[in-house]
Chains A and B, each alone.
Chain A
């Protein structure tokens, strides 16, 4: 493999490794086990959401609703728990909310033929409105069932439960995207829809699956967010929109360059959270983080522009 190819495939990951080494040397406490678990816990929320966005993007569709759908699912969970519904049922309702929102997006894109850029913006607005309708703008807050809170705050030994869950989820979605017929169909649909259709792939189904997985990921993430914060607010996942997209775009600069991929998204999430954590440990003021995130997005888009353009402007 040529040096150029190595840099293309692994350059960003190596830069992430460089960042890890840099922070290990210069940022006090970065390498402590407590901080590493702290970083991985923060990666968990971001990567779970970004996995979903990645699946949508693999089929060349954008899901700009995932953060708002996550907030809506969180509010549904919070509402049900605060009205004394058993928490497992509330969790199921939250996940179902994400699933249904994803299905709606999938049907809008494939049946109503509304471009995903537009339809998911619409769904995002609807989800936002519903979240405010349910809450009246006031967060559901409580000291809820410890068994439920264990999902977000609990530990098995020294390891937060959510990290273990995310690793399992990562292996599942990685396998799904690379080792299964469904994964191959999603990728083929995203790379060349017409060719995929002619070769017998149900591209409409593939796009629906991509967007449903994105909604499902939002619903699952909502469960852990609510359990972690013991509250549910209408815009609680708002900040994840930009970070989730950034993680996916960063992921597209590595392993299979210019293509959305689960492994890349995971490493992208890791880099973004590591940077955010490292900047705090290094004493950087708040505005530096926003500037750094902006730079990452611009650089990532510059490298992986072709797929994004196809997804964003397939009007």
Chain B
């Protein structure tokens, strides 16, 4: 009996501690669709950290790349009655019902790199079309607009799909450049394996017959870089260009043994910080949303990073 009482007391204390932590602070729900992707983890973690700087209580959730999990987590946060939500790489059409429910519950939602929804405040995003054009043209420039390239795509993400479509548009005007092999990453839950398997086959198949590799995001490029090194290539043999940015990518751009040539650096931390700052102005200070962001998007500029400016981005 004594043991049971002790367990009950401990449970009560734990509950009280949880309940206490739910007290009056501004509660922000943060959901990332797939935190095993570095960019999403950077986004969600920065939102959490920025919110805590404001004295808010931030609860970060990861949907593990599963649609139904994401929907359930949004539903649960709405039922919890959080004061606001910031979502990283969500999907407005699929979660239209949840976004509407949040709106009806008076919970403001800001999304990051997700796309626009009539039920959210706005989406904080880089202009994918501009970034994609920069990356595509830079890739072609590294081979003097003539030669063969390999492409690693990702069609099930809107941003990455736009990047691929812009690459195709740029290639239409540059017929001397041909895509000799391409792989489309499809499995979001085991995407690293998917990229590794697909691209290792393409690299073997096209050995000696390609001059550059274009990847739809840097996570793919890092895997491809390893594969190129395993294939015995050295810096300068082929160029490798992608989009997103991050310390590891910058290190590799500078690394004399890496094929990584350039990236378009998306300031995920700045985007996350902007989202939190805007949320404070809207949800706490009462600034009308349209005074801050008139349309459905808040565009954040991205910067092309190569060996000429990589030092400005490296932390070390």
Interface of A with B (CB < 8 Å)? 22, 25-29, 32, 34-35, 38, 41-42, 45, 132, 135-139, 141-143, 153, 225, 228-231, 233-240, 276-277, 280-287
Contact = CB atoms under 8 A, between A and B. Distances in A.
B231 interface: no
Nearest to A240: B68
Nearest to B64: A239
* Interface SS of B by simple majority: mixed
B76 A238 contact: no
B225 interface: no
Given A143-B96, A228-B97, A233 B76 contact: no
Contacts of B64: 239
Interface in B92-145: 93-97
Interface of B: 11, 15-16, 18-19, 21-22, 27, 35, 57, 59-62, 64-69, 71-73, 75-81, 91, 93-97, 154-156, 161, 184-189
B76 A228 contact: no
Given A29-B80, A229-B94, A239-B68, A283 B189 contact: no
B21 A235 contact: no
Which residue among A35, A225, A229, A231 has the maximum number of chain B CB atoms within 10 Å of its CB? A229
Nearest to A229: B94
Given A35-B79, A229-B95, A283 B155 contact: no
Contact of A143 (B16, B62, B93, B154): B93
A142 B96 CA distance: 10
Which residue among B15, B60, B72, B188 has the maximum number of chain A CB atoms within 10 Å of its CB? B72
Given A42-B72, A233-B156, A281 B35 contact: no
Contacts of A229: 67-68, 71, 94-95
Nearest to B66: A239
B59 A228 contact: no
Contact of B59 (A42, A240, A277, A280): A280
B22 A283 contact: yes
B15 A26 contact: yes
Contacts of A135: 186
A34 B57 contact: no
